[in-house]
Amino acid sequence: MKKSVSLSLQLSLCILLLLPSIIFFSSCGGGKEDENMSKKIDKMIDSSNVAIGVSGKVFIIPSPLQTAMLIKKSGVPYNKTILNATDKVNAYSTKFEKCLNLGIYGADLGYTTLFDQTQDALLYFKVTNTIASSLGLSSAFDTNLIQRFQKNIGTKDSMLVLVSAAFRASNDFLKKNDRSEEAALIIAGGWVETLNFAITVMKTKGNEEIKRRIAEQKNTLNNLISLLSAYQDNEEYSELLKQLSDLKTEYDKVQYKYIYERPITDEVTKTTSITSKSEIIITPENIQVIGEKIAVLRKLITT
C-alpha cells in the first residue's frame, strides 16, 4: 500500500523543525508583554503534538519541545557537552543517517535557543540547514527567508513573523511531496535526543515533572516502533528497531495506576466534575536502565 503524508503530518513536521526558534524568546526580556508572549508560546508548544499518517494509521508523537521546556524550567544549567558535535555533520551520508541526525540536531537547536546561547544556536541552525538541504527539504525556503532568519535571530517580533512565513512555506512544500519516511526518522531522532536530555537532567537536578515525562514516553515509544515498523523491510532499520525494542523491554516495567475518586456534582450549576486520576509508577532503577539503553541508541544514531 502506498504510504501517504496526512495534512496533520505536514503541519506538525513544520512545527517540529521551526518551533525551536520561537521558544528562544520565552526567556527574553521582561514585563507584562513578554509574560503574555511566553504564555502564548507555552500554549503553542503544549499543543504541538506530531500526528503522522502512514498506511491508513495515525500515530501521535508528543513534540520534543514539551520535554525541552520542562528541562529549561527545572533550573538546570546549560550543558553543551550533551549535544551532538556539529563537526560530525558531514559523516552522515545516507538518507537514513541524515534524517535521524536532522532530528538530533533539531533538538539540539531547540536546546541551545532555550538557554539563550545565540552563537551555539547559529551553529546548530547551520548544520540543520546543511542536512535539510542535502535531503531536499530546505527547498521549501528561499534564500531571502534564510538570510532574514539568521539576521533577526535576536529580535523577538521579527522572528515570530519569519517563523510564520517559514511555516507556511514548508507546509506548502510538504503538501506537494510524499515525505512520510523522512518525517518518521526526523521525529525519531528528535525524540531520542530529548529523552537523553531528560535522563541527563534526572541525574543532576531531576524533579517529579521530568520523572513523569520520562515515564510517559512508554506510549510514545510504542507508537514510534509501530511507525518505523512500516519500513522494516529496509535493512538499515533492523538495528534501530532492535534497539528500540530493547528499550521497550524496560519501559514495559513502567506501570499505570488508575485512582478512582467519586465525582463531585454541583447542585447549583448541575455540573459534575470527574476527579479520578491516573498515576505512572517508574522506579529509579527503571530510569537508570532506560538511560543506559537510550545512550546506546543515541550512539548508534550519531556515530
Q: Which residues contact 5 (CB under 8 A, 6 or more apart)?
A: 52, 53, 174, 177, 178, 179, 180, 183
Total domains, the chain = 1
Look at residue 264 and tell me if it is in a domain. no
Backbone angles phi, psi at 236, to 5 degrees: -60, -25
Q: pLDDT truncated to tens, each residue of the chain (303 aa)?
A: 444 333 334 334 444 444 433 333 333 344 454 455 445 444 544 444 555 555 555 555 556 556 767 787 888 899 999 999 999 999 999 999 999 998 898 888 878 877 778 788 888 888 988 888 898 876 655 566 566 666 665 554 444 455 445 545 554 554 556 677 887 888 889 889 989 999 999 988 878 889 998 999 998 899 899 989 989 999 999 999 999 999 999 999 999 887 767 778 878 887 877 766 778 899 999 999 999 999 999 999 999
The SS3 of residue 183 is helix
Look at residue 211 and tell me if it is in a domain. yes
pTM: 0.74
Contact 37, 25 (CB under 8 A): yes
Whole domain around residue 89: which residue ranges? 7-250+284-302
Backbone angles phi, psi at 127, to 5 degrees: -70, -35
Look at residue 102 and tell me if it is in a domain. yes
For the segment 201-234, what is each residue's pLDDT rounded down to a tens digit? 998 887 888 999 899 999 889 989 998 998 999 9
Look at residue 279 and tell me if it is in a domain. no
**For the chain, first and last CA: distance in Å?**
33
